[in-house]
């Protein structure tokens, strides 16, 4: 029988208050910078309730902000991360000042652009990312090469396996030709790493622009 404890893990409470990510909160705790009810703690294996007083470096933790969700146009050549070991620009370099601490819902590749949802609530982020949520992600894609024929589009809609990785149904329509390029609209529910680029490469198309235009009910303006 599993024993339950009231409240929430302290790292989660710190993250919800916008003071640090859960991982950074654990580092603060390990460094002895977090106190509960005046006593310094050294382990994140601690639950706290609304009646407990939490402080970081002696400063009381602020009350959690209300959950907020933002639509953001992620630029091309930009990392969906807080920091990059290679020193490349991140989404946080492109965000305007004055926003709360925000977390990305899912990711877009370095060289992909378009709609990225951002939230200040870790629980909302996890809910929107769950496979069970199964929200449709829709993309405009430009690829170099011949457009896929009806048989290739049917293969994508039935699901395709590449190098042992199974990709689910991808609805694909051909929008127009532009010189040696073709524009497609593609809709999928899973969004595995580099999924669109890999499946189109298998069909002989080299993706040179990828724009996410919708994530579930949310669309670009």
Active site residues: 109
Distance CA 110, CA 132 (A): 26
Distance CA 108, CA 210 (A): 10
Distance CA 207, CA 191 (A): 16
Beta bridge partners, 199, equal: none
Contact 74, 29 (CB under 8 A): no
For 47, what's the count of Cα atoms within 13 Å in the CB-facing half-sphere? Answer: 7
Nearest-CA neighbor of 137 among 60, 196, 83? 196
Mode of pairing for the β-strands spanning 59-60 and 103-104: unpaired
Alpha helices in the chain (DSSP H): 10-16, 22-30, 91-94, 122-129, 150-158, 195-202
Question: Is residue 149 packed enough to be buried (19+ CB in 10 Å), middle (13-18) or exposed (0-12)?
Answer: exposed
- Length of the chain, please? 221
């Amino acid at each position: 029988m599993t024993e339950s404890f009231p409240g929430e893990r302290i790292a989660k409470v710190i993250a919800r208050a916008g003071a640090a990510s859960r991982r950074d909160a654990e580092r603060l705790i390990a460094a002895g910078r977090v106190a509960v009810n005046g006593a310094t703690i050294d382990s994140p294996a601690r639950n706290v309730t609304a009646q407990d007083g939490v402080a970081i470096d002696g400063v009381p933790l602020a009350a959690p902000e209300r959950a907020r969700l933002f639509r953001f146009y992620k630029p091309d050549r930009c990392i969906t991360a807080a920091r990059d070991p290679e020193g490349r620009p991140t989404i946080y370099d492109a965000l305007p000042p004055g926003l709360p601490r925000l977390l990305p819902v899912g990711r877009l590749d370095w060289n992909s652009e378009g709609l990225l949802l951002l939230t200040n609530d870790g629980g909302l982020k996890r809910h929107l990312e769950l496979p069970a949520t199964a929200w449709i992600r829709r993309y405009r894609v430009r690829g170099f090469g011949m457009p896929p024929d009806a048989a290739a589009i049917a293969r994508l809609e039935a699901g395709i396996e590449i190098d042992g990785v199974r990709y689910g149904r991808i609805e694909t329509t051909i929008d127009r030709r532009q010189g040696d390029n073709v524009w497609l609209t593609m809709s999928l529910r899973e969004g595995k790493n580099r999924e669109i680029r890999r499946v189109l490469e298998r069909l002989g198309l080299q993706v040179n622009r990828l724009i996410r235009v919708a994530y579930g009910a949310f669309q670009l303006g």
